[in-house]
Amino acid sequence: MLSYLQSLTLVSSRRAAGDSLIERTPPSLSFSASDRGPRGSGVGDRVDSLIEARVALEKIKMLEGRMQYQIEKLVRVAEEATTSNENVVNDPLAFRPNPAALMDQGSGSEDEEEGVKGAERDGVYRPPKLAPVPYTESRKDKEKSRRAPIPSALSTLSHLDPTKPYVESTSGLGSTPALMSQRARELHRMTEFEEENMTRLVMKKREAKRRKQDEEDLALGGTGAASGRRGRGGGFNDEFADILKSVGRSRNGALGDGYEELRQRGKKADVLARSRTRGADDDDLQGDDGPKPRKRSRFEKEVKAAKKRAPLKRR
């Protein structure tokens, strides 16, 4: 640095005096050679030495930035060594025992202080580094997880108030279990979220099918657990399967759609179609040999059998 400043001062003074900057006597060896001789005394030689010193300073600056930590550490060690030697010689209490050396270096208080310092530095909370501990589940939690779930009927009776009337749905299956079911509450939260955000939840095909079945089960008064069960948990089609199958059967024996059959029977036919239907029914009843006897229903057969069994019991 001193050589660079001297060369810069000489070049500035020579240029102010009006001297030429071309006169130089370059050395025969390169700058990296260790046995290179000194430059000449010309103004051009001063300019060349100024350039070499500037390049060396830039390279040293890069190395100084990389080795700054090592340099500061060595300087600090040298300064502390001199001061500690002086203190040991002059201070007689330096030979007393140090209780701080007996403490654990990895204590929890130091870890907590490090976490607080880290949080104050960048605003992010970092938990203290503690020793890993295995999670031991309590006996009560194990028994609770192994215990069978409480039936919906018992849970309903525990929450019912005897002074109030029993809540019953229009289907006659009861609505209290449906309101108390966990699956019902989950479906209710999903519906509220979709209505508030005006969007549909994206789910897999299997989950969408399960949700549809559970909603049908809740509509029929079930608990919403419709997976893999029939009857109350099987949805609308399984609940009224017998009715839909009997309605869907046509006159020629073909099995059609029960919903479509109900719609067609709900519509009133025109006068011509009703007259033809009435005539065909009368012809079937009359026949060639006169009117045919009406077919007995199952109820009439059961009544007749009961009358026959009654005299036998009296005897």
Tell which residue, 35, 15, 31, 33, has the closest CA to residue 23.
15
User: Any idea which of 64-78, 95-109, 180-194, 300-314 has the lowest mean pLDDT?
Assistant: 95-109
pLDDT score for 112: 55
Using pLDDT thresholds of 50, 70 and 90, give the confidence band for residue 192.
very high
Rounded CA separation 303/314 (Å): 17
Exposure of 242 by Cβ count < 10 A (0-12 exposed, 13-18 middle, 19+ buried)?
exposed
Percentage of residues in the chain with pLDDT exceeding 70?
Answer: 44
> What is the overall mean pLDDT for the chain?
69
Instruction: Dump pLDDT digits (tens) for 294-314.
Output: 677 778 888 888 888 876 655
Please give the DSSP secondary-structure letter assigned to residue 249.
B
pLDDT at 160: 62
Q: Please say whether the beta carbons of 138 and 157 come within 8 A.
A: no
The residue that leads in pLDDT, 52 or 74, is 74
Alpha-carbon dihedral sign for residues 81, 85, 86, 88 = positive
Residue 194 has pLDDT above 90, yes or no: yes
Q: Highest mean pLDDT range out of 32-36, 212-216, 251-255? A: 212-216
Give residue 206's pLDDT band: very low, low, confident or very high (50, 70, 90): very high
pLDDT band at 280 (very low <50, low <70, confident <90, very high): low
Of the two residues 301 and 116, the one the predictor is more confident about is 301
pLDDT class of 191 with cuts at 50, 70, 90: very high
Inform me whether the pLDDT recorded for 232 exceeds 50. Answer: no
Q: Give me the residue spans of the domains in the chain.
A: 2-30+38-70, 173-267, 272-315
DSSP state of 254: -
Asked if residue 256 lies in contact with residue 250, where contact means CB atoms within 8 angstroms, the answer is yes
Please give the DSSP secondary-structure letter assigned to residue 95.
Answer: G
Top-confidence range, 98-102, 155-159, 178-182: 98-102
Q: Residue 13 has what pLDDT?
A: 73
pLDDT of residue 113: 58
Distances (CA, A) of 7 to 13, 45, 161: 10, 9, 104
On the CB side of 296, how many CA atoms lie within 13 Å of its CA? Answer: 8
pTM of the model: 0.26
How many Cβ atoms from other residues are within 10 Å of residue 153's Cβ?
11
94 touches 83 (CB < 8 A): no
If you search the block for the tokens 């340099």, which residue do you land on? 71
